[in-house]
């Protein structure tokens, strides 16, 4: 029993790390993966570098998307599209009270 009480703080640290760091990161990765799989032509997106555009086509060979911007069409990796930035840009603006 004394051996178990020695390792109890270490075990608690791992449990806390799992619930506060590892689990939320895994949930976020799952959301990003689902977001990328649900993309379709005409969706307005924002890349991780901040480029705004509309999806005009997909390149399955390169696993990429072709985004139409004000200056033309550009090809980006699917992983370069940001879920957070896209949600911020497409969310309706709330009126100030």
pLDDT (0 to 100) of residue 93: 65
DSSP string, 43-70: -EEEBTT--EEEEEEEETTTTEEEEEET
- 8-37 pLDDT, tens digit per residue, is 999 999 999 999 999 999 999 999 999 999
CATH of region 40-91, choose from 2.30.30.140, 2.170.190.11, 2.130.10.10, 3.30.565.10: 2.30.30.140
Confidence class for position 78, pLDDT limits 50, 70, 90? very high
pLDDT (0 to 100) of residue 35: 94
Please give the mean pLDDT across all residues of the chain: 90
Confidence class for position 1, pLDDT limits 50, 70, 90? confident
pLDDT above 70 for 95: no
């Amino acid at each position: 029993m004394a051996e178990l009480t020695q390792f109890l703080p270490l075990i608690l640290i791992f449990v806390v790390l799992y619930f506060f760091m590892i689990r939320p990161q895994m949930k976020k990765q799952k959301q990003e993966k689902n977001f990328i799989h649900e993309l379709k032509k005409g969706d307005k997106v924002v890349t991780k570098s901040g480029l705004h555009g509309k999806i005009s086509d997909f390149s399955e060979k390169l696993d990429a998307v072709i985004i139409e911007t004000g200056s033309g069409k550009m090809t980006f990796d699917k992983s370069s599209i940001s879920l957070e930035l896209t949600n911020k840009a497409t969310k309706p603006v709330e009126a100030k009270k």
